[in-house]
Each structure stands twice: as structure tokens, then as C-alpha cells.
């Protein structure tokens, strides 16, 4: 074991892609706030980066420390004098004001406070009121596939040149290896030891219900909330429909909306907004919902093995969920807000995912097949009506009003990076 001022870090550590972003933020702000769902590795990565730095550590999960921080914040900061890592800062919101005072007194110092929190709903209120302009905020998710495989990549791109360089270090995966990874999920604890995933997620859900939900909102009936969790998991990859979710979970639509907002702020699910503009007037405007951790999603939908999951009714949806979550992680690990959208119009033309970057739209289709046929046919739907050209065959970069249509990707079970045509490529899922 490795020890850091009374906190221990296990010798088995998986390098995290977000480490560079944390270091850069530490050099730019006096306060670094790392948010994310419970158990994704926030504390572990900060402890790792704090080794041999003399930075103190305290967790507000400790009732004694929490009591001191809440009742005597000045005394707390004397006891845990910066530089300090404060875990689960949301349990002592009044401490934010005193952190602000300390930061203002110490002027240009950077990286004085490292904070973690798993309840973004409470955190953001305290941050906006007390630490605006003084804090760099990073969001963290579970392990990416690249982190698990030991081949950490930067943010995902559809550029064939960049993808070609990834082939040199990426770890190829067959269908069952992919579904084993999907089924197991992304929580670091599952890869640090021989941990049974079913037991882990059962305990995870129970602690999540008992601790965080009660802290965040009034849930009169925990069984109802668990039912809602299961309904949400079964709808991963679908357009958001509060009324339908409310019916299936036997709760009111306002309750469904409030609880889903809670899942979003807690880092359990993400919403991908639809892309639309004045040039695309027929586009639908409801967001799509995805679970960030496919292991939790599989647990809640009661799949018992990777084999059953792959062969079951949710096979395609969970594959898409995993791909979207991996791409999403690749952006937040760089400290960026993911520029991700999807497209669907009234004619049922659909693009699973769009990366909107530098006035360019990069369309992505997600298919479980190893040899998807005509999968990029809807990419040209992103062109305004009357300007639809055969983008699949021309190889052009289309200028469309305020944006360009860039290279497209069909992410699938292909075992090699292959051109569909001059403009679109088949991309193996393990290259994300």
C-alpha cells in the first residue's frame, strides 16, 4: 500500500485519461472541483496525483469531520490547513464561503483546495454562490475501454488519419469480449479485484438509494424510485418521454421529471440533445437518454450474463449506449463539454450521433453488425432541404449555411478500419 498523509492508495492503479486535465486545472485555479457519480474513482485519482506533495486529506463522509466543517468551518480549515483534498464537499455547504475567504486572502496561489463531490445538484448551488471565478470544475465518469485496456486515447474523432494511428496501440476485441466489457461496466472497483459484478451493483443501488437520494430529495417510497430506475435503464438509448416513463413506473409525470433530473445531476445518466437549425425544420426536439455505466444498466434490466445480454432484446440498445458513453467520456476526460447531438426528422431519417466541432458536423452511425450495409445513407439528411447531395459518393466536404459536413463514421464490430467511400469509414468499436 502507498500512504499519503493518513490516506491510502492501493498499489494497483489504472492510469486515468483525466489526469492531465486535473493537473492543468490545478495550475490555473485556486480550487479544483472534481464531480461525478459515486465509485467512479474521483478520490483515487486525486490521491494518486497528490502523492509526495504534502497535501492533507479529509473526507466529509466521516461524521466527526462533517460536524467540525459544518459547525466550526474556521477551525476545520485550521485543522486541515491547505493544500488539502476535501472529499464529498456537498455535506458541508457552509464551508464554501470560508474556502472563498481563504482563497481571496492568499491571492494568486493555485491548487490550494482539491474538492470532490457526487451530488452535483447541491454542489453547483454552493459553487455559484461562493466560488464563482475561483474554481475549475471537471466531471469524471467510470473507466473508459481504453483505460481498462491500457491504451488511453484523446477525445474521439472521425478523422481516418487519427484513427489510423490508434490502430498501432488499440486492443482488438471480438463480439463477446465487447459484451463482457459492457456487462461488467466501468466502475474501477470491478477491475481492481476479482469482484462479482452482480453483488457490486446490488450494493451500489442500495447505498445510492439509502444515502444520496434521501439527501437530495424527498422519496417517500424507495420501491417506487427503484422501479423508476429500472424503467429508465430499459429506455437507455431512447428519446425521452416523461409521460411514458411515469406510466411504466406508476408515478406522476412531474415526479418522473424530477427523478430523472436527479439521475442526470448525480452522473448516472446523460441526455444527448437533438441537433436542429432553421435549415432543418423537421427535426425532432426531444433529447435522448443514455446510462453512463452499462454494467449498472444491465443490472437494473436484470440480464444475468454477457451471453444473454448479447442475444437478448436489448442487445442493440446496450451496444449503442456503450458507444455513446465511451465517446462522451473521451470528451469530459479532456475537461471539455461533449459537443454531442443526434438527429431525427419527421421522415424517420436518423443519425445516431453528431460531433459538432469548429462549425463542422461529423455524423456517426452505431451498428452491432460487423458488416453494416448502407449504414451511412442518412448522413445527407443533415443537409438542408433542397441541398441534399450524394455525400456518400462525392467525397466532398459540404458547406451548408453556417456549418460543414465532415467525415462520417459507422462504429461497428468490423475488425479493421475500412473506407465505405471517400467520405465515410467503418470504425471498429474498440478504436473509440
Contact between residue 33 and residue 130 where contact means Cβ atoms under 8 Å apart? no
Cell matching residue 396: 466532398
Average per-residue pLDDT in the chain?
A: 87
Query: What are the DSSP calls for 249-274, one per residue?
Result: HTS-HHHHHHHHHHHHHTTSEEEEEE
Which 3 state secondary structure label does DSSP give 88?
coil
Please state which CATH number belongs to domain 2-139: 3.40.50.300
Taking alpha carbons only, the member of 190, 431, 162 closest to residue 295 is 190
Q: Is the pLDDT of residue 322 over 50?
A: yes
Taking alpha carbons only, the member of 365, 398, 324, 15 closest to residue 156 is 324
Contact between residue 38 and residue 268 where contact means Cβ atoms under 8 Å apart? no
Domain borders along the chain are 2-139, 145-431
Cell matching residue 187: 466502475
**pLDDT tens digit sequence for 326-342:** 999 999 999 999 999 99
Beta bridge partners of 360: 357, 404
**pLDDT tens digit sequence for 41-78:** 999 999 999 998 889 999 999 999 999 999 999 999 99
Cell matching residue 181: 466489457
When pLDDT is cut at 50, 70 and 90, the band that residue 301 belongs to is very high
Q: How far apart are CA 353 and CA 89, in angstroms?
A: 35
pLDDT reported for residue 1: 29
**pLDDT tens digit sequence for 366-391:** 999 999 989 888 898 887 654 444 44
% pLDDT > 90, the chain? 67
Q: Is the pLDDT of residue 397 over 90?
A: no
DSSP state of 118: S
Amino acid at each position: 500500500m502507498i500512504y499519503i498523509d493518513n490516506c491510502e492508495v492501493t498499489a494497483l492503479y489504472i492510469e486515468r485519461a483525466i489526469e492531465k486535465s486535473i493537473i492543468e486545472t490545478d495550475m490555473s485555479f485556486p480550487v479544483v472541483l472534481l464531480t461525478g457519480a459515486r465509485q467512479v474513482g474521483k478520490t483515487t485519482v486525486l490521491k494518486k496525483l497528490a502523492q509526495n506533495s504534502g497535501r492533507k486529506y479529509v473526507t466529509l463522509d466521516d461524521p466527526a469531520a462533517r460536524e467540525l466543517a459544518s459547525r466550526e468551518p474556521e477551525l476545520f480549515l485550521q485543522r486541515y490547513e491547505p493544500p488539502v483534498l476535501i472529499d464529498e464537499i456537498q455535506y458541508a455547504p457552509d464551508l464554501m464561503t470560508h474556502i472563498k475567504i481563504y482563497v481571496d486572502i492568499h491571492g494568486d496561489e493555485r491548487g490550494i483546495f482539491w474538492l470532490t463531490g457526487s451530488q452535483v445538484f447541491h454542489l453547483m448551488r454552493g459553487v455559484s454562490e461562493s466560488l464563482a471565478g475561483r474554481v475549475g470544475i471537471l466531471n469524471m465518469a467510470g473507466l473508459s475501454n481504453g483505460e481498462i485496456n491500457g491504451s488511453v486515447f484523446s477525445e474521439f474523432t472521425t478523422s481516418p488519419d487519427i484513427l489510423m494511428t490508434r490502430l498501432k496501440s488499440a486492443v482488438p476485441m471480438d463480439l463477446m469480449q465487447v459484451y463482457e466489457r459492457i456487462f461488467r461496466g466501468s466502475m474501477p472497483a470491478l477491475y481492481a479485484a476479482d469482484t462479482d459484478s452482480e453483488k457490486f451493483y446490488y450494493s451500489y443501488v442500495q447505498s445510492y438509494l439509502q444515502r444520496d437520494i434521501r439527501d437530495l430529495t424527498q422519496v417517500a417510497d424507495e420501491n417506487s424510485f427503484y422501479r423508476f430506475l429500472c424503467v429508465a435503464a430499459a429506455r437507455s438509448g431512447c428519446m425521452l418521454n416523461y409521460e411514458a416513463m411515469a406510466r411504466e413506473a406508476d408515478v406522476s409525470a412531474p415526479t418522473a421529471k424530477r427523478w430523472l433530473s436527479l439521475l442526470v445531476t448525480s452522473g448516472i445518466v446523460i441526455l444527448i440533445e437533438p441537433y436542429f437549425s432553421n435549415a432543418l425544420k423537421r427535426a425532432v426536439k426531444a433529447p435522448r437518454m443514455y446510462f453512463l455505466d452499462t454494467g449498472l444498466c444491465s443490472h437494473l434490466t436484470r440480464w444475468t450474463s454477457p451471453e444473454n445480454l448479447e442475444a437478448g432484446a436489448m442487445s442493440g440498445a446496450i451496444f449503442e449506449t456503450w458507444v455513446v458513453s465511451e465517446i462522451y467520456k473521451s470528451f469530459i476526460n479532456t475537461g471539455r463539454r461533449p459537443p454531442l447531438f443526434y438527429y431525427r426528422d419527421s421522415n424517420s431519417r436518423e443519425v445516431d450521433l453528431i460531433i459538432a466541432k469548429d462549425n463542422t458536423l461529423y455524423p456517426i452511425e452505431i451498428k452491432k453488425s460487423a458488416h453494416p450495409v448502407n449504414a451511412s445513407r442518412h448522413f445527407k439528411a443533415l443537409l438542408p432541404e433542397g441541398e441534399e447531395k450524394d455525400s456518400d459518393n462525392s467525397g466532398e466536404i459540404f458547406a451548408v449555411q453556417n456549418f460543414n459536413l465532415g467525415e462520417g463514421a459507422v462504429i461497428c464490430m468490423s475488425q479493421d478500419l475500412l473506407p465505405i467511400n471517400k467520405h465515410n469509414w467503418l470504425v471498429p468499436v474498440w478504436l473509440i
